[in-house]
């Protein structure tokens, strides 16, 4: 049974007993599904698809329902960044003009700052990234990882007021830059 069907079953069962779900509950459900989809994508991309079942069952044993979460992904793979996700509708709120002129007022940066406030102690010292959907691109990432320019890669460097720079690029391009999992050098979390 997949995470999607299990979560829908729990969702419908709750609805029968307690009435229709609130908008907040629906948003949480959609966010969890998006996070699970990103974790699946990462597991496929780094060649660790066989961990999917283990991570799902780990959540099932701990919380009485199965889903894929970044915290378990990070621990199991030693991924060299701390990632979070935020499912948002950028088509309504952002345009290319806003990305270049008013990036500090976009929901992307607000979500990234929220992620920074929620980083656990064991992630200190790791680059931080926020994965989100963008129009016509399924997975984009805004991150703090310093990287050099690579041919054929489109990315946007976003300078902030505190002289730091955030990088906005496709998740696939970031994964190519990280290289194979054997080359990652990360302190064990």
Contact 47, 181 (CB under 8 A): yes
pLDDT at 177: 87
Query: What phi and psi, each to the nearest 5 degrees, are found at residue 83?
Result: -110, 150
Tell me how crowded residue 73 is: count the other CB atoms within 10 A of its CB: 22
Whole-number Cα distances in Å, 166 to 33, 78, 90, 185: 26, 22, 18, 22
Predicted confidence band of residue 100 (pLDDT cuts 50, 70, 90): low
pLDDT at 26: 83
Q: pLDDT tens digits, residue range 67-97?
A: 788 888 888 888 999 999 998 876 655 566 6
Asked if residue 1 has pLDDT above 50, the reply is no
pLDDT at 187: 54
* The model's pTM: 0.79
Q: Mean pLDDT across the chain, nearest whole number? A: 80
What are the residue ranges spanned by the domains of the chain? 1-77, 80-179
Place of tokens 């969702």: 11
Whole-number Cα distances in Å, 143 to 83, 84, 95, 156, 169: 9, 10, 20, 11, 8
Whole-number Cα distances in Å, 182 to 16, 46, 50: 48, 10, 16
pLDDT at 40: 92
Beta strands 165-170 and 155-159: pairing type? antiparallel
Instruction: Write out the E strands in 40-136.
Output: 82-85, 128-134
- Between 140 and 60, where is the model more confident? 140
Asked if residue 38 has pLDDT above 90, the reply is yes
Predicted confidence band of residue 13 (pLDDT cuts 50, 70, 90): low
Q: pLDDT tens digits, residue range 130-189?
A: 999 887 788 899 999 987 767 777 787 888 777 788 998 999 999 988 888 888 775 554
């Amino acid at each position: 049974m997949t995470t999607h069907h299990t979560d829908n079953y729990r969702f419908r069962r709750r609805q029968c007993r307690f009435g229709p779900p609130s908008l907040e509950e629906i948003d949480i459900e959609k966010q969890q599904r998006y996070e699970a989809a990103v974790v699946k994508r990462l597991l496929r991309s780094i060649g660790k698809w066989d961990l999917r079942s283990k991570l799902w069952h780990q959540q099932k044993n701990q919380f009485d329902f199965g889903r894929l979460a970044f915290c378990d992904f990070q621990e199991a793979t030693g991924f060299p960044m701390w990632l979070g996700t935020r499912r948002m509708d950028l088509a309504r709120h952002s345009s290319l003009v806003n990305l270049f002129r008013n990036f500090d007022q976009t929901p992307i940066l607000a979500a990234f700052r929220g992620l920074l406030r929620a980083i656990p102690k064991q992630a200190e010292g790791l680059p931080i990234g926020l994965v989100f959907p963008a129009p016509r691109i399924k997975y984009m990432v805004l991150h703090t990882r310093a990287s050099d320019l690579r041919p054929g890669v489109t990315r946007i460097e976003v300078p902030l007021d505190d002289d730091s720079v955030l990088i906005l690029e496709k998740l696939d391009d970031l994964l190519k830059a990280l290289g194979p999992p054997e080359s990652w050098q990360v302190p064990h979390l």
